Amino acid sequence: MTKSIILVGVGGQGTITTSSILAKGLIEDGYDVKMSEIHGMSQRGGTVVTQIKYGEKVYSPIIGDGEADLIVSFEKVEAVRALPYLKEGGTIVTDTREIFPMPVLTGAAAYPSDAVEKLQKEVPNVVVIHAAQTAETLGNVKAQNIVLLGALVKQLGLMEIDWKKIIQETVPAKFAELNLKAFDAGCTM
Amino acid sequence: MSKLIMSGNEAVARGCYEAGVHFAAAYPGTPSTEILENIGGLYRDEIYSEWSPNEKVAAEAALGASIGGMRAICTFKHVGMNVAADPIFTAGYCGVNGGLVYVTADDPACHSSQNEQDNRLYAPHAKLAMIEPSDSQECKDFLKKAYEISEAFDTPVLFRMTTRVCHSKSVVKLGERQEVPVRKYEKHPEKYSMLPVNARKRHIIREELLGKLEEYSYTSDLNRVEEVNGTDTGVITSGISYQYVKDVFGDSVSVLKMGLTHPLSKKLLTEFASKYEKIIVVEEGEPYLENAVKTLGFTNVTGKDKLTIQGEFNTKVVRDSLLGEQDTFRYKAEGVEVPARPPVLCAGCPHRGFYYALSKQAEKFVSAGDIGCYALAVNPPLNGFDTCICMGAGFSALVGLSRALKAQGDTRKAIGELGDSTFFHSGLTSLIDIVASETNAVAVILDNSITAMTGHQENPGTVRNLMGYESPAIDIVALVKALGIDDDHLRIFDPIDQEAAKEALEAAYQAEGPFVIITKRPCALIKEVQKANAGKHVAIDPDKCVGCRQCMKVACPSLAFDGEKKKAYVADTANCNRCGLCIQQCKFGAIGKAGE
């Protein structure tokens, strides 16, 4: 059975690093894995969507509407934007972090701060976490993505894979300790 | 052998390494860029690689390497092939000495492009062999095969990828590099000098070679039949579409997966299509395979009557189009208005400075933009330009546009903007036309010392090259002066400096004839620039802020406006690098320097 996961956030939040670590772990565990991301304009503050599929044999690298088992959102309203991807009965893990897009910054549009509460009314499985806040407490908000990785692998029941080894291989050595703590924190969320 | 998860682009780079390629050239373009980035970064000891000024130069450089006896590759995005088309059409006649592969990375759905052209149509037009991979493993394996075909059939090979093949990642088994000696260069003007007398003969030879290649195509393992007993349906597909076909149909239909898609084996298509009552052709873009099957006389063919020409497929699109919509369940978050999140110019972006200054004198100019990060200035509130066509058009269009404005008594002046890399790409020849035609227009070179939009590639103006070696930086100012632009018709300044920008635009408007503006400030995301600005940010004094919203007009992602308090505030101090643009425009002195 193929599992489909969407990671969504804003350019610069580290969604791609998270998905790379996830993919490495899944391959080491013997799964066939495909990942998809769009490069280009998304680097300039736009929405970034990374998709991962794994299973015995994976064909399409991309996930269509209504096909995602799990959406992990690094930013609050991006969870709502990604909602059409979610399959019936699927799960959303979302951070409470708010990053205002340009129309909100300039006052041309409002930011729906109650997005998560409204999401919870519609979707039975919404896990709300404070990954950015936790990462900040640990010393650097940039470790938010690894907190989310912890929460994500817990949701997927993939705790037996040696994620810490892969994190150490992936992140710069001076940030290894921070990220390992971030991962542990995420696993308890 | 070790297994890695690789993007298609990484796998092509690896394929070049394993195939013993000696020479690689390209101009950056999404979704193709990472092929040369990986070659330059990982294999510089084995493969010479360069960012050429444009795709035509890259295609010619690669052809030269091939004629000289090297295995060569040249990559481009789909629209880059238009730029390179001139040499490529003739390369089809010349053939090769060392193997020659042209990679086209098409972008269905225009993720980062100005159109959706399907470059498979180039293969029959330019008389090239064409190969289409469906995943990263095939990117590597088929590329190696492409060199064998190129050398065996004396033909350049068009290696056709799409965004999802380039940028999706899948598992790849690595191999070793095969050392291929550079073939001896031999003088053959009858083969490589395409004067009419030779070209006529080469055309005949080319048609013969394509015939032989079609015979080979029938037996080639690049094409694969996945036959299922008891089905009345045969699906013909290629590239990424194969993956969607497998997801939708599994093993319930027979599939002809075409990897060698020019010349198409008519025998193979006929044999396959004859076996089934229903033929379905699944391909993104134009009905390339479909037309080929129909031309063979088959009428029981479903294709573009159900599957869209526009945009890209996924499993759901293919399933819904062919089988009717299957599941319509969707979650909706009632009552949540999700604000748009358009890509924006980064905090500290030099382009913002120029376009902010231009917006203040917008009534004097009709502005033509170009391809690059600065294209983002088209959005409100900067509303930076009216046109954006292709690389270089931001200058060339002025030659006609300025005359058209004059002819209708419009007193506004035509102004065009492009970046340093775009200037080297094709802006230089456009500027030559502006000067030679004595066009009354303003040509602006937004020099940020890097090719930024595609992710910071080196260009002829940078002090390092793709392989990481020091390289001579071409002096844009000297080039412009050499064209005959004198100091009265030239302004050079830091675009964040609004006084200088204002004066330059006023002078440009008043001047007669060609006027050139060169803005100089490096991209805020260049590592050294980021380091130098680390910790710097601005602070807004709420007591001095009167809520006039003028600072919102600079459209910086670091600044925000609190509608309740009616005050501007710094939304992201980490992002801000204190370029100072907002400080200059606040009449109330509310914005000041802070941080390190």
Binned average pLDDT, 10 residues per bin, chain B of 596 residues: 88 98 97 97 98 98 98 98 98 97 97 94 98 98 98 98 96 96 97 97 98 98 97 98 97 98 98 98 98 98 98 94 84 89 91 97 98 93 95 97 98 98 97 98 97 93 96 97 98 98 98 98 94 95 95 92 91 90 96 88
CB–CB of B457/B407 below 8 Å? no
How far B235 CA lies from chain A's nearest CA (Å)? 16
How far B54 CA lies from chain A's nearest CA (Å)? 19
Q: What is the pLDDT of residue A107?
A: 82
B281: which strand partners? B236
Q: Is residue B90 helix, strand or coil? A: helix
CB–CB of B435/B514 below 8 Å? yes
How far A189 CA lies from chain B's nearest CA (Å)? 24
Q: What is the pLDDT of residue B359?
A: 97
Q: What is the pLDDT of residue B1?
A: 57
Partners of B2 on chain A (C-beta within 8 Å) are none
Interchain contact B167–A (C-beta under 8 A): yes
Window B:107-126, CB contacts with A under 8 Å: 111-112
Q: Which of A40, A43, A101 sits opposite B340 (nearest CB)?
A: A101
- Across the A:B interface, residue pairs with CB atoms under 8 Å apart total 184
Interchain contact B170–A (C-beta under 8 A): yes
* pLDDT digits 0-9 by tens, B66-95: 999 999 999 999 999 999 999 999 999 999
The count of C-alpha atoms lying within 13 angstroms of the C-alpha of B588, restricted to the half-sphere facing its C-beta, is 15
CB within 8 Å: B243 and A59: yes
Partners of A58 on chain B (C-beta within 8 Å) are 170
d(C-alpha A5, C-alpha B188), whole Å: 56
d(C-alpha B233, C-alpha B300), whole Å: 10
Partners of B170 on chain A (C-beta within 8 Å) are 32-35, 58, 61
How far B590 CA lies from chain A's nearest CA (Å)? 17
Partners of A38 on chain B (C-beta within 8 Å) are 111-112, 163, 167
Q: Which of A60, A114, A122 sits opposite B244 (nearest CB)?
A: A60
CB within 8 Å: B561 and A39: no
CB within 8 Å: B343 and A11: yes
Partners of A36 on chain B (C-beta within 8 Å) are 164, 167-169
The amino acid present at B486, given as its one-letter code, is: D
Q: What is the pLDDT of residue A154?
A: 94
What average pLDDT does the structure give for chain A? 92
Partners of A46 on chain B (C-beta within 8 Å) are 341-344
CB within 8 Å: B5 and A63: no
Q: Which of B34, B317, B563 sits opposite A64 (nearest CB)?
A: B317
Q: Which of A66, A86, A106 sits opposite B327 (nearest CB)?
A: A66
Interchain contact B332–A (C-beta under 8 A): yes
In chain A, how many H helices and how many E strands?
8, 6
CB within 8 Å: A62 and B314: yes
Q: What is the pLDDT of residue B241?
A: 98
CB within 8 Å: B561 and A106: yes
d(C-alpha B99, C-alpha B96), whole Å: 6
Residue-wise DSSP of B217-277? HHH-TTSEEE--TT-SEEEEEETTHHHHHHHHHTTSSEEEEESEEES--HHHHHHHHHT-S
How far B413 CA lies from chain A's nearest CA (Å)? 30
Interchain contact B566–A (C-beta under 8 A): no
Locate the chain B residue with the closest alpha carbon to A59.
B243
Partners of B244 on chain A (C-beta within 8 Å) are 59-60
The amino acid present at B452, given as its one-letter code, is: A
- In percent, the amount of chain A with pLDDT more than 70 equals 96
Sheet strand arrangement including B490-493:
B365-368, B413-419, B441-447, B515-520, B490-493
Locate the chain B residue with the closest alpha carbon to A64.
B316
Longest CA–CA span in chain A (Å) reads: 49
How far A34 CA lies from chain B's nearest CA (Å)? 5
Provide the pLDDT confidence category of residue A39 given band limits of 50, 70 and 90.
low
Check the CA dihedral B403-B511-B507-B494 and report its sign. Answer: positive
Q: Which of A20, A62, A107 sits opposite B168 (nearest CB)?
A: A62
CB within 8 Å: A43 and B339: no
d(C-alpha B298, C-alpha B291), whole Å: 10
CB within 8 Å: B243 and A47: no
**Cβ within 8 Å of residue B341, ≥6 positions away:** A10, A45, A46, A47, A78, A81, A101, A102
CB within 8 Å: A43 and B455: yes
**Cβ within 8 Å of residue B271, ≥6 positions away:** none
> Angle between the B288-295 and B266-274 helix axes, to the nearest 10 degrees?
80
Q: B349 — alpha (psi -120 to 50), left (phi > 0) or beta?
A: beta
Report which DSSP code applies to B161: E
Locate the chain A residue with the closest alpha carbon to B241.
A60
Q: Which of A44, A61, A110 sits opposite B168 (nearest CB)?
A: A61
Cis peptide bond N-terminal to B124, omega within 30: no
CB within 8 Å: A62 and B111: no
Partners of B340 on chain A (C-beta within 8 Å) are 101, 103, 109
d(C-alpha B242, C-alpha B282), whole Å: 8
Window B:369-428, CB contacts with A under 8 Å: 373, 376, 381
Q: What is the pLDDT of residue A43?
A: 57
Domains of chain A by start residue, with CATH: 3-187 (3.40.920.10)
CB–CB of A71/A93 below 8 Å? yes
Partners of A39 on chain B (C-beta within 8 Å) are 30-31, 33-34, 112, 167, 455
Q: Which of A24, A63, A118 sits opposite B335 (nearest CB)?
A: A118
CB–CB of A139/A63 below 8 Å? no
Partners of B316 on chain A (C-beta within 8 Å) are 64-67
As a 3-state breakdown, chain B gives helix, strand, coil percent values, each rounded to 5, of 40, 20, 40
Partners of B335 on chain A (C-beta within 8 Å) are 118
CB–CB of A37/B164 below 8 Å? no
* pLDDT digits 0-9 by tens, A61-112: 999 999 999 999 999 999 999 999 999 999 999 999 998 888 888 888 999 9
How far B346 CA lies from chain A's nearest CA (Å)? 6
* Mean pLDDT to the nearest integer, A127-139: 94
Interchain contact B548–A (C-beta under 8 A): no
CB within 8 Å: A39 and B455: yes
Q: Is residue B499 helix, strand or coil? A: helix
Structural element, H or E, at residue A19: helix A15-28
Partners of A105 on chain B (C-beta within 8 Å) are 552, 557, 559-561, 571
The count of C-alpha atoms lying within 13 angstroms of the C-alpha of B126, restricted to the half-sphere facing its C-beta, is 26
CB–CB of B538/B582 below 8 Å? yes
* pLDDT digits 0-9 by tens, B150-197: 999 999 999 999 999 999 999 999 999 999 999 999 999 999 999 999
Interchain contact B225–A (C-beta under 8 A): no
CB within 8 Å: A112 and B315: no
d(C-alpha B374, C-alpha B6), whole Å: 31
